[in-house]
Amino acid sequence: EADIYQTPRYLVIGTGKKITLECSQTMGHDKMYWYQQDPGMELHLIHYSYGVNSTEKGDLSSESTVSRIRTEHFPLTLESARPSHTSQYLCASSGGGSGNYGYTFGSGTRLTVV
Amino acid sequence: TQLLEQSPQFLSIQEGENLTVYCNSSSVFSSLQWYRQEPGEGPVLLVTVVTGGEVKKLKRLTFQFGDARKDSSLHITAAQPGDTGLYLCAGGQWDMRFGAGTRLTVKP
Q: What is the rounded distance in angstroms from the CA atom of residue B36 to the CA atom of residue B87?
A: 5
Nearest to B50 among A45, A90, A100 (CB): A100
A110 in contact with B, Cβ within 8 Å: yes
Whole-number mean pLDDT of chain A? 91
Is the predicted pLDDT of residue B1 greater than 50, yes or no?
A: no
B63 in contact with A, Cβ within 8 Å: no
Is the predicted pLDDT of residue B24 greater than 90, yes or no?
A: yes
Interface probe for A, chosen from B30, B36, B45 (most Cβ of A below 10 Å), is B45
- DSSP annotation string for chain B: --SSEEE-SEEEEETT--EEEEEE-SS--S-EEEEEE-TTS--EEEEEE-STT-EEEETTEEEEE-TTSSEEEEEESS--GGG-EEEEEEE-SSS-EE---EEEEEE-
Q: What is the mean pLDDT of residues B15-22?
A: 97
What region does A108 belong to: left with phi over 0, alpha with psi -120 to 50, or beta? left
Question: Do B25 and B71 meet the contact criterion of CB atoms below 8 Å apart?
Answer: yes
Contacts of A50 in chain B (CB under 8 A): 94
Residues B35-84: pLDDT tens digits?
A: 999 988 999 999 999 889 999 999 999 999 999 999 999 999 999 999 99
User: How far is C-alpha B23 from the geometric centre of its chain's CA atoms?
Assistant: 7
Query: Are A92 and B99 in contact (CB < 8 Å)?
Result: no
Question: Is the preceding omega at residue B8 within 30 degrees of 0, hence cis?
Answer: yes
Residue of A nearest to B2 (CA): A42
Percent of chain A residues topping a pLDDT of 90: 75
Whole-number mean pLDDT of chain B? 92
**Angle CA(A92)–CA(A3)–CA(B21) in degrees, nearest 5?**
50
Interface probe for B, chosen from A27, A32, A38, A43 (most Cβ of B below 10 Å), is A43
